[in-house]
Amino acid sequence: MAGRDLTDDAARREELLDAIRREVRATAHLTDRDALDPAVYEALRKVDRARFVRPEDRDLAWYDGPLDIGAGQTISQPFIVALMTDLLALGPRSRVLEIGTGSGYQTAILAELAGEVYTVERIAELAEAARARLQELGYRNIHFRTGDGRQGWPEAAPFDAIIVTAAAESIPPALIEQLRPGGHLVIPVGPPWQTQRLLDITRDADGHIEQRELLPVAFVPLR
């Protein structure tokens, strides 16, 4: 990107990673995590967040906070991106479903860690822009769909991990059904425009569900 000081950019990335590490330690009593997988930090270091925000917000790209991306949606706080990604426990052979592509930032982080990413976005203008952006950046392990994310992606199921980047008032049953036994579904649940709870959900081979509540969060509603 013309005009950007890459040395300063790298320094700001490291400052952001330090801020995330501090936030991880500060919330460890809620998450049972005082450190994240180093691979998650490496993905955050590699993915240029400035490519996923509006041009007028590029100076804020390395700020640890959410930003407006248009269409009433936001790009999540990097700390939350890091934590949710870590909870998924991804490996190079993982198949992960993302509900809410947004600008594609979380998608890119997932694509750095997983074998295949399936991402669903309901808002066509965001879906099309994210697809073009991610393909331009060279990602070839991402599958895109425009539609109702609450239905998941049944023909590609089961998934080793599912992440929802908008708040549902209740857990969509289709997502539970599409989760592979032993996998993680990470989702914010609660009323729209109020404080929600981040949940980490697993299911066993018999279909039994285990749900763990983590920290309070604030996401835009799942449409």
Tokens of 45: 């270091």
* Active-site residue set: 76
Q: How far is CA 116 from CA 78, 82, 135, 166, in A?
A: 22, 18, 14, 21
Q: How far apart are the first and last CA of the chain?
A: 33
Q: How far apart are CA 194 and CA 218, in angstroms?
A: 7
- Cβ-based burial of 89 (10 A; exposed 0-12, middle 13-18, buried ≥19): middle
Q: How many CB atoms lie within 10 A of CB 6?
A: 8
